[in-house]
């Protein structure tokens, strides 16, 4: 037995969020039974399809999301179907679904009923707005969540045309992120069920999760009173896409030494010595002067030559790849990122591979996505009463509610965002996270000048750090001294998890590589995050979060209709790598509880985002092309866009996914005649006349506020919701009602508002437990209580600058 082998999971629902969360577990060995309604998962109708011909067994999205699963069909609207579901629940350990709150009861999806049948069951409800609060019954599609969570408001970034609306990324990335969060907390709760025998019901809001990864933008408002948007220039420069001889390349220069190396690569031109280019902020102020010089120099290079030359000098260049270029990349091939899968109807197709590499290789595609109802008989024959795997505590005695990772200790060597984001989620789940820090090199997040209005910059004042280090402890430890390394090893010997996001090879150079740590603690779980992964010919390349959308091809798919590839408004590669690391850590903890074995996890920012692009990739795999850039529009639905409203830069999203929604919208806006208009009779007609349809809708929305539009259309069951900025989010009655925001007193900055935990637990406690720590705040307590040092020893280590 290895990984999640034998863990019994039920998946219910449609499209992306529940399916991808369950796939993450299935690909690590879990036995996932996918419960489909008689017509099948809606993803079967989504495509892409070979030759563009719809077929329910050949949808690229469905095929990608459902490897390693079994399919049964059950009509959950019938009593017999609900009884069949209850039988399956009796034998399950995890149930994950994404049915809306309003439909759960009518489908028989009730935690209190399931808990009576199976007290150890972990159930996760992934819904657009959560199961409580004013918006719980609002209709939503992917565009609703991308804009409603505040991400699209920031995208594409550095935009100079205010007539263009906020922009969602191509595909279903809001739902994919909701799935990753769901998998993290579900696996954490499953680990706790193995330890204590207690089950859990998780209520996860996709809107809240999207709002929880907005980089610096939310605290930019709550700390400084400023609202970031897609408009204006970057705070640093160079940053953006540039034309080479044969394509686009992305460049970002956040550090002074990187600018120096770029100037050297350019041959030290005279203009580079001008005063106006001497730091990143000055270069940003004078970007219009600098850009022509960069354009002239870069256009003389090929993409591949400049990528290689820049990376050899530790400069973050990254190609803007298309789908056809991804399989040519030696790094992805060397890490076996692409996997051929043979399906009985769709034939052999190349699938995207794992979002992380594992030292002990649990991840495997064992079977293709199932045919509709393929396993009805098999599952029916095998549904017998079984005991949950490896119970460690009898569930007959009452158990005190605990957080999922209570009792787990994490040695946190991370910095900036990707790694701290992962560690923060482990803290949210109840782990004791000890962040190793030093005065010799404070976390860059502590040094960013995002401080409360009226306060001076200081390592304890940074809102960026205080946002992403909630719930953690801080230990001063100078890893530049042998004594510091020795203390780190003593800490690791008493930890369950080590997590880091240094450049490839740094932990090994410190003497803290996995082989060393495994010798110290054989069942240690180590998660490492970097741009390109820790193996392969480009493992030493640097990959900041903003470079990942270009590198994966996501930028080539995202952008306004007829326009150029675009960025995504935030450093998407970072939080995505972080939450993938958290998924893998929680899976490894559950596996260790069952097998006693540890694991090493290698998360590549590149692969972790590329794994979330099945619609773009499958179009290429099937048809050797890729979808065009289409702004906020959809491949099938119309209307489906972001519309201008009354007021300055105010926008609302509207999407109709069914004929009933279309008809309801026409009546609600006072134009019932549109239903019979020959231009708009069918979904295909509406797509063919999309410009005319959107003009009609805009004429209606521009006369109303974004909230008026939302209320009118949601009242008749149409997915409408504002494109939210940070102020909108902070003041949102729904997010506040769900207790999403954290307002805890901090000794240096007082009471500030941070985004908090996007899920609610039925049994365990909720809310962030403590604010981010002051630098070294917990050093003495950890040295004394955990490492058993005397006060005299602590004082000596401080004098020697070991605890510094």
Secondary element (H or E) of residue 101: helix 101-104
Tell me the Ramachandran region of residue 560: left when phi exceeds 0, alpha when psi lies from -120 to 50, beta otherwise: beta
CB 417 within 8 A of CB 448: no
**pLDDT, position 382:** 84
Distance of CA 11 to the CA centre of its chain: 20
**pLDDT 10s digits, 729-782:** 999 999 999 999 999 999 999 999 999 999 999 998 999 999 999 999 999 999
Strands 409-412 and 497-500: parallel
**pLDDT, position 399:** 57
Return the closest-CA partner of residue 777 out of 799, 751, 747.
747
**pLDDT 10s digits, 457-503:** 999 999 999 999 999 999 999 999 999 999 999 999 999 999 999 99
Q: 444: which residues sit within 8 A by CB, 6+ positions away? A: 415, 416
Q: 3-class SS at 194?
A: helix
The secondary structure of residue 456, as a DSSP letter, is P
The Cα–Cα gap between 124 and 98 comes to 8
Average pLDDT, whole number, for the chain?
96
> What's the whole-number mean pLDDT along residues 31-50?
98
**pLDDT, position 512:** 98
Residue 390 has pLDDT above 80, yes or no: no
Secondary element (H or E) of residue 435: strand 432-437
**pLDDT, position 235:** 86
**pLDDT 10s digits, 157-183:** 999 999 999 999 999 999 999 999 999
> What's the whole-number mean pLDDT along residues 312-329?
98
Q: What percent of the chain has pLDDT over 90?
A: 96
Q: Around 531, how many Cα atoms within 13 Å sit in the side-chain half-sphere? A: 23
Distance of CA 319 to the CA centre of its chain: 22
CB 173 within 8 A of CB 146: yes
Q: Exposed/middle/buried for 595, CB within 10 Å: 0-12, 13-18, 19+?
A: middle
The secondary structure of residue 7, as a DSSP letter, is -
At residue 803 the predicted structure's pLDDT band, cuts being 50, 70 and 90, is very high
- Secondary structure, 3-state, 253-266: CCCHHHHHHHHHHC
* DSSP β-bridge partners for residue 535: none
> What's the whole-number mean pLDDT along residues 90-106?
96
* DSSP β-bridge partners for residue 342: 348
Secondary element (H or E) of residue 607: helix 605-610
**pLDDT 10s digits, 243-266:** 999 999 999 999 999 999 999 999
**pLDDT, position 389:** 46
**pLDDT, position 137:** 97
The Cα–Cα gap between 520 and 41 comes to 47
The secondary structure of residue 744, as a DSSP letter, is -
**pLDDT, position 383:** 73
How does DSSP assign 711-734, residue by residue? HHHHTTT-EEEE---HHHHHT-HH
Residue 396 has pLDDT above 60, yes or no: no
**pLDDT 10s digits, 506-517:** 999 999 999 999
Secondary element (H or E) of residue 102: helix 101-104
Secondary element (H or E) of residue 438: none
> What's the whole-number mean pLDDT along residues 369-384?
92
Q: 437: which residues sit within 8 A by CB, 6+ positions away? A: 443, 474, 475, 476, 477, 775, 776
**pLDDT, position 398:** 43
How does DSSP assign 272-316, residue by residue? GGSGGGSSHHHHHHTHHHHHHHHHHHHTTS-HHHHHHHHHHTT-E
> What's the whole-number mean pLDDT along residues 544-573?
97
The Cα–Cα gap between 635 and 686 comes to 12
**pLDDT, position 392:** 41
- Secondary structure, 3-state, 695-717: HHHHHHHCCCCHHHHHHHHHCCC
**pLDDT, position 764:** 87
Q: 3-class SS at 737?
A: helix
> What's the whole-number mean pLDDT along residues 604-617?
98
Q: 3-class SS at 204?
A: strand
Long-range contacts (CB closer than 8 Å, 24 or more residues apart) made by 778-782? 778/434, 778/473, 778/474, 778/475, 779/474, 779/475, 779/476, 779/803, 782/434, 782/473, 782/475, 782/491
Return the closest-CA partner of residue 442 out of 459, 418, 430.
459
CB 436 within 8 A of CB 411: yes
Q: Around 664, how many Cα atoms within 13 Å sit in the side-chain half-sphere? A: 18
The Cα–Cα gap between 372 and 344 comes to 12
């Amino acid at each position: 037995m290895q990984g999640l082998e034998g863990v019994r999971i039920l998946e219910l629902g449609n499209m992306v969020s529940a399916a991808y969360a369950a796939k993450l577990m299935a690909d690590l060995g879990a036995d996932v039974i996918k419960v489909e309604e008689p017509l099948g998962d809606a993803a079967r109708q989504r495509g892409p399809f070979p030759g563009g011909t719809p077929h329910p067994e050949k949808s690229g999205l469905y095929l990608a999301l459902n490897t390693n699963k079994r399919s049964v069909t059950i009509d959950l609207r019938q009593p017999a179907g609900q009884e069949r579901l209850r039988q399956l629940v009796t034998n399950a350990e995890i149930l994950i679904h994404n049915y809306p709150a309003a439909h759960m009861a009518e489908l028989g999806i009730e935690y209190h009923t399931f808990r009576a049948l199976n007290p150890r069951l972990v159930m996760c409800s992934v819904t657009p707005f959560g199961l409580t609060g004013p918006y719980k019954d609002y209709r939503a599609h992917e565009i609703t969540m991308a804009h409603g969570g505040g991400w699209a408001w920031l995208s594409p970034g550095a935009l100079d045309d205010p007539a263009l609306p906020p922009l969602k990324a191509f595909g279903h990335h809001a739902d994919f992120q909701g799935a990753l969060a769901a998998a993290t907390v579900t696996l954490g709760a499953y680990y706790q069920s193995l330890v204590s025998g207690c089950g859990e019901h998780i209520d996860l809001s996709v809107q809240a999760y999207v709002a929880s990864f907005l980089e610096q933008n939310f605290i930019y408002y709550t700390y400084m009173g400023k609202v970031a948007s897609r408009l204006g220039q970057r705070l640093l420069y160079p940053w953006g896409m540039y034309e080479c001889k044969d394509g686009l390349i992305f460049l970002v220069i956040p550090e002074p030494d990187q600018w120096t190396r770029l100037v050297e690569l350019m041959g030290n031109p005279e203009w580079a010595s001008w005063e106006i280019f001497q730091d990143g902020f000055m270069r940003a102020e004078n970007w219009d002067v600098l850009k022509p010089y960069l354009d002239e120099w870069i256009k003389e290079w090929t993409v591949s030559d400049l990528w290689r030359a820049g990376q050899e000098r530790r400069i973050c260049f990254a190609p803007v790849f298309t789908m056809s270029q991804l399989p040519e990349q030696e790094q992805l091939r060397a890490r076996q990122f692409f996997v051929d899968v043979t399906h009985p109807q769709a034939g052999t197709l190349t699938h995207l591979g794992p979002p992380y590499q594992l030292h002990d290789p649990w991840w495997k595609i064992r079977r293709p996505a199932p045919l509709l109802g393929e396993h009805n008989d098999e599952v029916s024959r095998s549904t017998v009463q079984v005991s949950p795997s490896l119970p460690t505590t009898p569930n007959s005695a009452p158990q005190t509610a605990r957080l999922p990772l209570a009792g787990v200790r994490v040695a946190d060597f991370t910095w900036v965002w990707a790694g701290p984001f992962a560690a923060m989620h482990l803290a949210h789940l109840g782990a004791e996270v000890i962040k190793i820090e030093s005065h010799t090199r404070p976390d860059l997040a502590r040094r960013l000048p995002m401080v409360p209005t009226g306060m001076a910059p200081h390592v304890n004042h940074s809102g960026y750090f205080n946002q992403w280090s909630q719930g953690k402890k801080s230990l001063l430890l100078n890893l530049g001294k042998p004594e510091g390394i020795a203390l780190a090893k003593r800490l690791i010997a008493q930890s369950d998890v080590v997590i880091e996001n240094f450049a490839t090879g740094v932990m090994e150079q410190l003497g803290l590589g996995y082989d060393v740590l495994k010798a110290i603690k054989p069942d240690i779980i180590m998660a490492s995050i970097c741009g390109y992964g820790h193996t392969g010919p480009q493992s030493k390349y640097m990959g900041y979060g903003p470079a990942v959308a270009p590198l994966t091809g996501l930028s080539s798919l995202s952008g306004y209709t007829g326009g150029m590839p675009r960025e995504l408004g935030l450093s998407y590669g970072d939080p995505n790598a972080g939450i993938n690391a958290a998924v893998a850590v929680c899976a490894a903890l559950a596996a260790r509880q069952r097998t006693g074995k540890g694991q090493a996890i290698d998360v590549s920012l590149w692969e972790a985002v590329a794994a979330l692009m099945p619609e773009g990739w499958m179009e290429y795999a099937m048809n050797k092309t890729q979808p065009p850039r289409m702004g906020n529009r959809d491949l099938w639905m119309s209307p489906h866009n972001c519309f201008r409203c009354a007021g300055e830069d105010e926008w609302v999203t509207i999407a109709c996914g069914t004929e009933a929604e279309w008809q309801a919208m026409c009546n609600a806006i006072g134009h019932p005649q549109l239903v019979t208009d020959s231009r708009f009779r069918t979904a295909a007609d509406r797509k063919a006349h999309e410009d005319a349809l959107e003009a009609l809708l805009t004429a209606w929305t521009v006369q109303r506020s974004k909230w008026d539009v939302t209320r009118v259309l949601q009242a008749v069951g149409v997915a409408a919701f504002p494109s939210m900025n940070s102020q909108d989010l902070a003041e949102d009655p729904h997010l506040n009602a769900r207790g999403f925001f954290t307002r805890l007193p901090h000794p240096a900055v007082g009471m500030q508002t941070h985004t908090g935990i996007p899920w609610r637990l039925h049994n365990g406690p909720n809310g962030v437990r403590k604010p981010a720590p002051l630098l070294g705040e917990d050093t003495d307590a950890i040295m004394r209580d955990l490492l058993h040092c005397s006060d005299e020893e602590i004082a000596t280590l401080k004098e020697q600058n070991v605890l510094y």
